[in-house]
């Protein structure tokens, strides 16, 4: 049986590689020609091949994350159809080997792909988050990007600005407003630039304001504290600040502040959970749905396989196109139900946990019924 397992697994890996490389290559070619002018402009600072490798290297990881379940199902069904079409399945079954044992390698291969996809989401993608949130025109992070106002919910400060620069992690012409006011600082701080600085042993994390315009008497103003914690540090009692500088303490990172909601998609599950516990962030129910969905995603991937593969094996037709059509129908139904549940959870119609687990509640019993045909 190990010989059969190795044979089936080799077929599965070859088909999976061909499916993924073909789809990823098609995506890259279409995207390159769509943004060819932008790539030529960006490549003036370096070589075009190097830029393409940098740009699409990270995006191939996200492409695999989004298509891994579909690719795994497609590869498994194509291999199963090929075994039926060449009468290899009939020969094995005539030797007393059940279908379930023949396709065990396909199930194991799909489980490995599901685990690899989870590792990709949690380990490989997050380090490339900054690159994934930039387009070709702003690849070096020096383009002026629109800045949308955002509240720091811990300090009740509204942070606004003219635009942001990702390369510097800075906000140009920032304003920091708070009602009620910030003690002697008044209700508003205004400066030429604000640079994000992460926390160190010497100071907390937050935004370093340079060229402060408001308040006018900044060197004479004492630092502002809220519930015993520093909120705005002034040069009067902070030695490392110059006369026209102040520091606004915040638990909002530059990515969370300037990138809007895009950072969530490329963050790991521990980072999302940390964001839910961050008092400065007011994350909606959709993030809780996302966290629960990440946890159940490997189970969903295997459920999708157990829905599609037995249907293909139970069909009398040996056509590859019929197998592909069956896969498309199964995947479309599965995805629609999953998206509907996630939308209901994000809209507070159902709890986030139930929104993530609901597709399993719907499809696991159906998968149990379809899997019975493998033992016949």
Please give the pLDDT value at position 63.
95
Residue 124 predicted with pLDDT over 60: yes
Q: What is the pLDDT of residue 376?
A: 60
Q: What band does 203 get if pLDDT is binned at 50, 70 and 90?
A: confident
169 burial via Cβ count (<10 Å: 0-12, 13-18, 19+): buried
Cβ contacts of residue 350 below 8 Å, gap of 6+? Answer: 341, 344, 358
Residues 70 and 329: their CA atoms lie apart, in Å, by 12
Are 138 and 166 within 8 A, CB to CB? yes
Predicted TM-score (pTM) of the model is 0.86
pLDDT digits (tens, 9 = 90+) for 169-183: 999 999 999 888 888
- The fraction of the chain above a pLDDT of 90, given in percent, is 38
Q: Using one digit for the tens of pLDDT, what is the confidence trace for 87-119?
A: 877 787 777 777 777 788 899 999 999 999 999
pLDDT-derived band of residue 11, with 50, 70 and 90 as boundaries?
Answer: very high
For residue 266, pLDDT over 70 is answered with: yes
Residue-level pLDDT at 113: 95
Please report the pLDDT score of residue 374 as a whole number: 65
Domain layout of the chain by residue ranges: 2-133+284-375, 145-258
> Whose CA is closest to 245, among 217, 212, 222?
212
Is residue 140 scored above 90 in pLDDT? no
The string of DSSP letters for 105-152 reads: HHHHHHHHHHHHHHHIIIIISGGGHHHHT--GGGTTS-S-EE---EEE
Per-residue pLDDT of 289-347, as tens digits, reads 999 999 999 999 999 999 888 877 776 555 667 766 777 788 889 999 999 999 999 88
* Res 83: pLDDT: 84
């Amino acid at each position: 049986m190990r010989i059969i397992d190795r044979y089936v697994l080799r077929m599965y890996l070859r088909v999976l590689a061909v499916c993924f490389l073909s789809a990823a290559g098609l995506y890259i070619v279409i995207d390159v020609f769509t943004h060819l002018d932008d790539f030529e402009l960006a490549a003036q600072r370096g070589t075009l091949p190097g830029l393409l490798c940098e740009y699409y290297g990270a995006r191939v990881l996200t492409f695999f994350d989004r298509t891994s379940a579909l690719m795994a199902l497609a590869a498994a069904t194509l291999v199963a159809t090929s075994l039926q079409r060449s009468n290899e399945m009939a020969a094995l079954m005539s030797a007393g080997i059940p279908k379930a044992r023949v396709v065990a390698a396909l199930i194991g291969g799909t489980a490995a792909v599901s685990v690899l996809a989870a590792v990709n989401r949690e380990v490989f993608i997050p380090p490339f988050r900054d690159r994934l949130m930039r387009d070709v025109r702003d690849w070096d992070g020096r383009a002026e990007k629109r800045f949308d106002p955002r509240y720091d919910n811990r300090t009740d400060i509204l942070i606004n600005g003219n635009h942001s620069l990702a390369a510097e992690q800075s906000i140009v012409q920032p304003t920091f407003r708070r009602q009620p006011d910030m003690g002697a600082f008044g209700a508003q701080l205004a400066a030429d630039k604000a640079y994000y600085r992460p926390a160190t042993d010497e100071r907390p994390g937050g935004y370093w304001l340079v060229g402060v315009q408001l308040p006018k008497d900044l060197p004479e103003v004492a630092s502002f504290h809220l519930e015993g914690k520093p909120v705005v540090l002034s040069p009067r009692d902070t030695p490392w600040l110059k006369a026209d500088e102040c520091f606004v303490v915040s638990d909002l990172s530059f990515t969370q502040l300037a990138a809007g909601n895009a950072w969530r998609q490329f963050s790991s599950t521990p980072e999302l959970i940390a964001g839910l516990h961050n008092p400065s962030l007011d994350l909606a129910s959709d993030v809780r749905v996302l966290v629960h969905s990440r946890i159940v995603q490997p189970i969903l991937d295997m459920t999708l396989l157990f829905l599609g593969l037995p249907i293909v094996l139970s069909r009398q037709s040996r056509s590859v196109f019929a197998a592909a059509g069956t896969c498309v129908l199964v995947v479309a139904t599965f995805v629609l139900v999953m998206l509907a549940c996630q939308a209901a959870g994000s809209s507070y119609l159902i709890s986030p946990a139930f929104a993530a687990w609901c597709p399993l509640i719907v499809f696991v019993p159906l998968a149990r019924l379809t899997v019975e045909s493998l033992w016949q």
